[in-house]
Amino acid sequence: MDLEKSREEQAGEGCLVVALRMPVRVVALVLVVPVRMVWDALVVAGRFLNGRVFRPVGRALAWVGRAVFVWPFVALWRWVLVPLGAALRWLGLVLVVVPAGWLYRRVLTPFGHALAWLGHRLLVVPSVWLYRWVLTPVGHALAWCGQGVFAVTSLLVAGIATALYWTARVLVVWPAAAVWRWVLAPVGRVLAVVAREVGAALGHAWRVAGYVSLAVGRALAALCRWTVVEPARWVYRTVLTPVGHAVRDAVLRPVANAARSVGRITGDTLRSVRLTVRQVRQDVRRALLGGPGTAGKRDDQAVKGAVVSPGGRDERIPLAKR
């Protein structure tokens, strides 16, 4: 249906449109494809920067702005300006509003009533008399004179306007109409056709450039996947994972077990050494200072009873009670 409509439209168009359409579309496609690819790259970069950089930085700046500017001013408004405004309002009410109200009620209102009574007697009554017996007759006379002057002026203006109208029509309007009809209108139609075709070519080229850019992007993504991602995945799955498992089973686990055994043996040895040192210290103290020998005998029995098992654990042999 769309192909039939386009063929019908092309059949109804002029030869100038058909001759201009294909070269203009080819030139527009060549010029627009690089621009569209650059535009798509910029859009992808802008989305990445917006999601990864601009939004976190904006949130951090917003929080810093609130902490530096908003919260101090809110605290200043709440704890300083509001109480100060309330105090100033109370002072204004006490010092200005109440005295002004009393002055208005007790002084200005009676004084204003007196001035209104005097103004009515001294200004309104004489003004009414002057308007009724002087200004009204003078105004009627001036209005009658003005009507005559207006009529004469209207006749003169009408004659001058008629002469200027026909002069402008003969000298300006008719030549301008002829130029518009026989020169500007045909040129405008040609320029409109050219502009329409150029716009349509640019739109078509932009859409085609979008498809080209999408195909190039998919090709680059596929190339990156098959040259980098898939080999790296294969190396990780088939080489690094078995090697890691072998190293873990053959080296790391035996080394860890040996280290734990050495640690246990070292701890048992240190405990035995501590017991021996303690016994020597007690023997030296007993030899130098003297003392009961039961403690020494008990320590000897404890040292003799401490035997290190082959697995690295302390197994104390219970001694028979005497």
DSSP 195-245: HHHHHHHHHHHHHHHHHHHHHHHHHHHHHHIIIIIHHHHHHIIIIIHHHHH
Model's pTM, two decimal places? 0.38
Matching residue, tokens 């200043």: 76
Other CB atoms within a 10 A radius of the CB of residue 204 amount to 16
**pLDDT reported for residue 307:** 42
Q: Is residue 196 within 8 Å of residue 22, measured between CB atoms?
A: no
Q: What is the pLDDT of residues 211-241, one digit of tens each?
A: 888 888 888 889 988 998 899 989 888 988 8
Q: What is the pLDDT of residues 164-221, one digit of tens each?
A: 988 888 888 888 888 898 888 888 888 888 888 888 888 888 888 888 888 888 888 8
Rounded to the nearest 10°, the torsion over CA 32, 34, 36, 39 is -140
Q: How far apart are CA 153 and CA 160, in angstroms?
A: 11
- At residue 319, the 3 state secondary structure works out as coil
Mean pLDDT of 130-155: 85
Q: How far apart are CA 119 and CA 273, in angstroms?
A: 124
Matching residue, tokens 């527009």: 28
Q: Model confidence at 43, in pLDDT bands (50, 70, 90)?
A: confident
- For CA atoms 31, 34, 37, 42, the dihedral sign is negative
**pLDDT reported for residue 3:** 41
Whether residue 161 is predicted with pLDDT greater than 70 in this model: the reply is yes
> Quick one: what percent of the chain has pLDDT higher than 90?
3
Q: Is residue 36 within 8 Å of residue 210, measured between CB atoms?
A: yes
Helix (H) or strand (E) holding 316: strand 314-316
Residue closest to 20 by CA, chosen among 192, 184, 210, 185:
192
Residue closest to 17 by CA, chosen among 186, 196, 187:
196
Q: What is the mean pLDDT of the chain?
A: 80
Q: How far apart are CA 68 and CA 73, in angstroms?
A: 9
- Distance linking the first and last C-alpha atoms of the chain: 117
Q: Model confidence at 84, in pLDDT bands (50, 70, 90)?
A: very high
Q: Is residue 268 within 8 Å of residue 314, measured between CB atoms?
A: yes
Q: How far apart are CA 32 and CA 25, in angstroms?
A: 10
Q: What is the pLDDT of residues 59-69, one digit of tens each?
A: 889 989 888 88
**pLDDT reported for residue 319:** 40
Burial label for 40, CB within 10 Å (0-12, 13-18, 19+), is middle
